[in-house]
Structure 1
């Protein structure tokens, strides 16, 4: 099996598991949705030839977290993900589980998707798994979405080099296009859709050129594209070498004790997931042949073994031949091709 290292945006998965309906609780009433979801998803990836490398969010930039309203109050630009913070009990539980599973993880200094993109850029990871499309302007050259355990869901792969080529844009122009279409770090110019924004970037080459031809009423006062561009082109990331990472064999006993005894997860469920990592080996049975007839005793003797028959072909008929057409439907994890 050829293993692939994938940098996983942990905060996205944690948010998905936390918002899952219905919420999973143990018999004590403690929520274990995130813990159980991370356990099952990690085993699914290990089972399918993936070495997951989890990346946790750090402190987000100020211009992402807060936004001034008209009445002078401060509000969040978007709902904060319920991701565990460093030092919290939930974060320690996830760290403990990943250690027992033998899977490494990284604490990003800022945005997790930025560090994931950097790991792909430095060839530490084969691809990055996140639902946040901001990974593309962070120069994530291979973005994987919809990597779930459901076989019916098709995995989506985005190749940044092909996107640049098809759009006929440089890296800097692509970043400006993403800012115009909307990102987490600034507001956007109203009235610019995908086609119009792409046309204007190709014509004026940058946001500065577009701003010069736009009236000041069309440019919002909080349109800080310069800071947003700098965050995409020079992000704060964690520097990690491949030699620093280590995947080890999962410790089944410690996993069972932690999940079943300490977190009170159902033992039947835990064992059923762990069994996926240890599929039963197929034993090759060698049939004993009879010394008298040199034929397996379990095999029924055919008439043709005593009286060989020849097939007769009518001279006016031709034997059918030629291969049948074959088709394949690539789904799920099979979408990840080198």
Structure 2
């Protein structure tokens, strides 16, 4: 979910090829939820194998990672660890939303409204520990590096980006900017066409690049003030202040200089301790002992996971493996070209 900063920030639209040669840390949990939400049957049912096991996440990891490699992008998946205690309310709220969406999905199916059913099915997506482990196994077999964060994956990915180990963080959420990632790439793994609900109209979905330092300069604020704006709007750690939108939040922080003064002078109440929330963004729990190393593809293991264990089409997987091999070459070549340019 994260903090909604879209109307505050400027961004530029890119093609995948414009990111060629870049190492990008992908917010793994955010991305797996995308796969579970989007990769579905027309009635909203997830892709499944013959034993009823959901496979949408594996399809996304395999084919969309290949798309990135073919574009010359080198992905690194970063997985969440244990969430901070302050996030427990958000986790519970999301669980309730998914449960309600599942109920609405079933009702829409009974009425035969497939478009409505698909909408609610997407909102009901549940990511299990088993799915996460399956995804890691598949990434290992594909030779794609992944990092296990001690806590928030976006915080770890942002730390890696600011240190220069990766170029940017890829996520649909804006939180990585609060965690100090210099660059955020949205829509990286869902590029293509998206149907507008209830209309027979499709729009093109392309990657969007948000540059933190440039936005801070244009807005005339510091990163700490951006965090404070996020707190007013609502983060994963607190509810937003009722009646305060993004423009009002920016105006208040600019005028008063700090959230503390805004709270005091406007007589506002924040649902969690402000300083504690700020420290979760300013000094998150991260690790330095991670490895980013691309390995050769283990073709037999990929086939075993997808075909033998989950009934994927052998022919399609073999074609995907051929694309993966060519994609690895493209990513390696583009990285080499980037090195000589820099």
TM-score range, shorter chain: 0.7 to 0.9
Counterpart among 293, 298, 304 of residue 257 in structure 1? 304
Note if contact 1:107-1:238 (Cα within 8 Å) is conserved in structure 2: no
- Once the two structures are overlaid, the 10-residue window that deviates more, 14-23 or 151-160, is 14-23
Aligned to 2:275: 226
In 2, Cα distance between the equivalents of 1:66 and 1:279? 45
Aligned to 1:213: 265
Aligned to 1:174: 226
Note if contact 2:28-2:78 (Cα within 8 Å) is conserved in structure 1: yes
CA, structure 1 residues 273+229, in 2 after alignment: closer, same or farther (shift >3 Å)?
same
Note if contact 1:43-1:277 (Cα within 8 Å) is conserved in structure 2: yes
**SS in structure 2 opposite 1:24?**
coil
Q: Does 1:83 align with 2:83?
A: no
In 2, Cα distance between the equivalents of 1:240 and 1:83? 27
CA, structure 1 residues 55+278, in 2 after alignment: closer, same or farther (shift >3 Å)?
closer
CA, structure 1 residues 205+150, in 2 after alignment: closer, same or farther (shift >3 Å)?
closer
Q: CA deviation at 1:149?
A: 5.5
Q: CA deviation at 1:189?
A: 2.3
- Once the two structures are overlaid, the 10-residue window that deviates more, 172-181 or 109-118, is 172-181
Q: Does 1:55 align with 2:102?
A: no
Q: Does 1:6 align with 2:24?
A: yes
Unaligned runs of 5+ in 2: 1-16, 99-124, 193-203, 328-341
Q: Does 1:30 align with 2:82?
A: no
**SS in structure 1 opposite 2:244?**
coil
In 2, Cα distance between the equivalents of 1:76 and 1:144? 28
Q: For residues 155-180 of structure 1, what are the alpha-carbon distances to aligned partners after superposition, in whole Å with 9 as ceiling and x for unaligned? A: 10000011110001112112111111
TM-score normalised by the chain length of structure 1: 0.73
TM-score normalised by the chain length of structure 2: 0.72
In 1, Cα distance between the equivalents of 2:73 and 2:37? 25
Note if contact 2:50-2:310 (Cα within 8 Å) is conserved in structure 1: no
Within 5 Å, which residues of 2 pair with 1:1-338? Answer: 3-20=21-38, 21-22=40-41, 23-66=46-89, 76-79=92-95, 82-85=126-129, 88=130, 90-148=131-189, 150-151=191-192, 152-215=204-267, 218-220=268-270, 222-240=271-289, 244-278=291-325
In 1, Cα distance between the equivalents of 2:56 and 2:92? 25
Q: Higher helix proportion, which one?
A: 2
Q: For residues 274-293 of structure 1, what are the alpha-carbon distances to aligned partners after superposition, in whole Å with 9 as ceiling and x for unaligned? A: 2323459xxxxxxxxxxxxx
Unaligned runs of 5+ in 1: 68-74, 281-337
Note if contact 2:233-2:239 (Cα within 8 Å) is conserved in structure 1: no
Note if contact 2:70-2:326 (Cα within 8 Å) is conserved in structure 1: no
Task: Flag as ranges the 4+ runs of structure 1 deviating above 6 A.
Answer: none
Larger radius of gyration between Structure 1 and Structure 2 = 1
Give the root-mean-square deviation of aligned CA atoms.
Answer: 2.3
CA, structure 1 residues 171+279, in 2 after alignment: closer, same or farther (shift >3 Å)?
closer
Note if contact 2:237-2:272 (Cα within 8 Å) is conserved in structure 1: no
CA, structure 1 residues 82+238, in 2 after alignment: closer, same or farther (shift >3 Å)?
farther
**SS in structure 1 opposite 2:178?**
coil
In 2, Cα distance between the equivalents of 1:78 and 1:257? 34
**SS in structure 2 opposite 1:45?**
helix
Q: CA deviation at 1:202?
A: 1.1
CA, structure 1 residues 91+170, in 2 after alignment: closer, same or farther (shift >3 Å)?
closer
In 1, Cα distance between the equivalents of 2:49 and 2:243? 50
Q: Which protein has greater RCO, CA pairs closer than 8 Å, 6+ apart?
A: 2
CA, structure 1 residues 279+62, in 2 after alignment: closer, same or farther (shift >3 Å)?
closer
